[in-house]
């Protein structure tokens, strides 16, 4: 990850901490911080784009159905943040794709079937 990407992540962290610091729905800053921390740990063990991975972790609840207003466009909050920080279109679309596939309990978000095969190398 580049220094400028790390700066963006840090600034978005501050933005979200300010926005969700007093939330009582269970989607507060501490929840986001735990998800972000887990993403950073996971990224160390897998070949992923760490910037995209951390951004998706931080932004995964911005458009949670509990916070959306009637008629508000899907992922509009996440898109606004990505635009505010001038995130490249291709990277933004990758982040939005990940965020759009996060399942919110009760939101009726379809989840694609994903499988992963892991081999220990032993037989």
**What is the rounded CA–CA span in Å between residue 95 and residue 49?**
10
Cβ-proximal residues to 65 (8 Å cutoff; 6+ apart), any chain? 104, 106, 107
- pTM for this model (two decimals): 0.79
Specify the DSSP element, H or E, that contains 3: helix 3-20
The domain spans of the chain are 3-100
Model confidence pLDDT, tens digit, residues 50-72: 999 999 999 998 987 776 777 77
Which residues of the chain, if any, have pLDDT below 50? 106-107, 114-123
CATH 1.10.472.50 matches 3-100: yes
């Amino acid at each position: 990850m580049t220094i400028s990407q790390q700066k963006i992540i840090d600034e978005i962290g501050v933005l979200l901490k300010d926005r969700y610091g007093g939330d009582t729905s269970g989607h507060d800053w501490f929840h986001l911080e735990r998800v972000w921390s887990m993403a950073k740990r996971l990224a160390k063990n897998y070949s992923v784009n760490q910037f995209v991975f951390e951004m998706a972790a931080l932004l995964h609840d911005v458009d949670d159905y509990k916070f959306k207003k009637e008629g508000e466009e899907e992922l509009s909050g996440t898109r606004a943040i990505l635009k505010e920080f001038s995130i490249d279109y291709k990277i933004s679309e990758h982040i939005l794709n990940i965020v759009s596939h996060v399942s919110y309990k009760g939101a009726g978000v379809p989840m694609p079937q994903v499988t992963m095969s892991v081999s220990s190398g032993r037989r």
